[in-house]
């Protein structure tokens, strides 16, 4: 049987079962991830198993990133539970505040993710690692506990959809715009429990930082995972970084995709997802002049150094609108430091932005950016359900960093080209 990219990876990790869509298989897991929200329950369950040690202390990553720095006593207790477990189990890849970052940006940066891996995480956006040619998907906390104990996990083999992108992107069109456009086309359940495999000549030139954005948002399309075929751009990123050698896979010619969709990206403008679903997508022109109260730039979707560079290019020499709060979250400490060295942080602060240590807080309505009743935010995050970032009667619009930065200056949603940029000397 001819197999898709996802099926090829699962086949190499399969212990039991037949790797055909719909079948249940048991697979070896290369890396298991938990955070300060999901890991404590997994740790409790693991202890109930009566085991002394995890299956492999070097193949578990624990990252406190959701409610840290601790916002209250409950958050501090959650973080302490994970910290104590990490120390007791001698977990190699535990990252404390000051070293940690938003998990889905941090793990690739640290070399823990590479092409051909099977990765599970007790966080839905674990699928981000498909950007590097890995099969990565989110699981529940009890599943994480089982993997910590055994190093294995059960999966139902997903059917696959193929998304082909052709042509050259317009100015200011990024990976965020491509995936928003795609979700707008297929809907939030358009890829339900399917693998989204991204390809085409456009993706071959897509920068490495843009690929995680697209893989990350496979989940808001209902998918099991999103994945790119590893190529020279992938290998260049992994060189000197990956802690173990990558393994490259290609889908078989004539593999059984349930559906193939093709897009000509020169026809795609910067996109905005209106409340309250990621599928409610429109070109930015349709959103122009909608006033906003807050702008968020960051998260596991758009908090990488290239995202910050785009924002700084627009914000340089400008001021945030006096009725707008702009909050910027570099995704990792390494990204923060790089932005500092490049002068981006200075640009942000001089523009009137608040710059935070890495945290997932505002994305899930946890802390550091909560919306009040009736407030409206434009965010580079990945979900905009009612109450996602605060009060149930607040609104969240989703966009790229370019649209977000320009809109922060304008005080309303605008196309990036609406903000005239001073030429650098």
Q: pLDDT at position 7, please?
A: 97
- The two structure tokens encoding residue 270: 């910067």
Q: In what order do the strands lie in the sheet with 93-94?
A: 93-94, 60-63, 31-35, 118-121, 135-138
Instruction: Say if residue 258 is in the same domain as residue 276.
Output: no
Q: pLDDT at position 1, please?
A: 82
- CATH number assigned to the domain comprising residue 215: 3.30.499.10
Residues 6+ apart with CB under 8 A from 88: none
**Domain stops at, among 212, 243, 262:** 262
Instruction: Say if residue 365 is in the same domain as residue 220.
Output: no
For residue 404, give its domain range: 271-418
**Domain stops at, among 216, 231, 262:** 262
Which pLDDT tens digit goes with each residue over 234-257? Answer: 999 999 999 999 999 999 999 999
In a domain, 317, yes or no: yes
- The two structure tokens encoding residue 343: 């002068």
Q: pLDDT at position 420, please?
A: 61
Instruction: Say if residue 95 is in the same domain as residue 224.
Output: yes
Instruction: Say if residue 253 is in the same domain as residue 115.
Output: yes
pTM of the predicted protein model: 0.95
- What residues in the chain have per-residue pLDDT under 50? 422-425
Instruction: Say if residue 231 is in the same domain as residue 91.
Output: yes
CB of 211 within 8 A of CB of 228? yes
- Residue 192 CB neighbour total at 10 angstroms: 14
In a domain, 424, yes or no: no
Instruction: Say if residue 171 is in the same domain as residue 232.
Output: yes
Instruction: Say if residue 239 is in the same domain as residue 295.
Output: no
Q: pLDDT at position 422, please?
A: 46
CB of 223 within 8 A of CB of 135? no
Instruction: Say if residue 289 is in the same domain as residue 248.
Output: no
Instruction: Say if residue 111 is in the same domain as residue 247.
Output: yes
In a domain, 423, yes or no: no
**Domain stops at, among 199, 227, 262:** 262
Work out how many domains the chain is built from and give that number.
2
Residues 6+ apart with CB under 8 A from 121: 32, 33, 34, 103, 136, 137, 138, 139, 144
How far is residue 250's CA from residue 50's CA, in Å, rounded to a whole number? 41
Instruction: Say if residue 314 is in the same domain as residue 207.
Output: no
Instruction: Say if residue 70 is in the same domain as residue 168.
Output: yes
Q: Beta strand pairing status for 395-398 and 376-379?
A: parallel
Instruction: Say if residue 101 is in the same domain as residue 244.
Output: yes
CB of 380 within 8 A of CB of 404? yes
Q: What distance, in Å, lies between the first and last C-alpha atoms of the chain?
A: 59
Which pLDDT tens digit goes with each residue over 146-202? Answer: 999 999 999 999 999 999 999 999 999 999 999 999 999 999 999 999 999 999 999
Q: pLDDT at position 423, please?
A: 41
In a domain, 425, yes or no: no
């Amino acid at each position: 049987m001819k197999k898709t990219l996802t099926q090829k990876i699962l086949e190499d990790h399969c212990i039991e079962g037949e790797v055909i869509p719909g079948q249940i298989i048991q697979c070896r897991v290369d890396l298991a991830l938990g955070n300060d929200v999901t890991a404590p329950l997994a740790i409790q369950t693991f202890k109930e198993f009566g085991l002394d040690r995890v299956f492999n202390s070097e193949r578990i990553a624990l990252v406190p990133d959701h409610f840290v720095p601790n916002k209250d006593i409950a958050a501090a207790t959650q973080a302490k539970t994970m910290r104590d477990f990490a120390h007791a189990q001698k977990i190699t890849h535990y990252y404390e505040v000051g070293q940690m970052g938003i998990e889905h940006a941090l793990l690739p940066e640290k070399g823990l993710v590479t092409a051909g891996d099977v990765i599970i995480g007790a966080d839905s956006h674990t699928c981000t690692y498909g950007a590097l040619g890995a099969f990565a998907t989110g699981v529940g906390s009890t599943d994480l506990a089982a993997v910590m104990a055994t190093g294995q996990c059960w999966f139902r083999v997903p059917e696959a959809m193929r998304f082909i992108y052709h042509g050259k992107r317009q100015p200011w069109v990024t990976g965020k715009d491509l995936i928003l456009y795609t979700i707008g086309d297929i809907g939030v359940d358009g890829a339900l429990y399917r693998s989204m495999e991204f390809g085409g000549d456009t993706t071959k030139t897509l920068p490495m930082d843009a690929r995680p954005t697209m893989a990350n948002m496979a989940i808001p399309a209902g998918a099991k995972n999103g994945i790119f075929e590893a190529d020279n751009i992938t290998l260049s990123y992994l060189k000197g970084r990956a802690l173990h050698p990558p393994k490259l896979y290609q889908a078989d010619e004539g593999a059984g995709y349930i559906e193939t969709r093709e897009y000509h990206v020169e026809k795609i403008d910067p996109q905005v997802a209106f409340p309250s679903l990621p599928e409610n997508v429109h070109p930015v022109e349709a959103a122009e002049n909608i006033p906003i109260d807050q702008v968020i730039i960051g998260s596991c979707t758009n908090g990488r150094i290239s995202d910050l560079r785009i924002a700084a290019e627009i914000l340089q020499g400008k001021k945030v609108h006096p009725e707008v709060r702009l909050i910027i979250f570099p995704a990792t400490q390494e990204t923060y430091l790089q932005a500092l060295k490049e002068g981006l942080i200075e640009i942000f602060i001089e523009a009137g932005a608040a710059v935070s240590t890495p945290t997932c807080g505002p994305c899930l309505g946890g802390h550091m950016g909560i919306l009040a009743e009736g407030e409206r935010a434009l965010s580079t995050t990945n979900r905009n359900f009612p109450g996602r970032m605060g009060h149930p009667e607040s609104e969240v619009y989703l966009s790229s960093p370019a649209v977000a930065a320009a809109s922060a200056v304008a005080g309303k949603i605008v196309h990036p080209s609406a903000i005239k940029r001073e030429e650098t000397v």
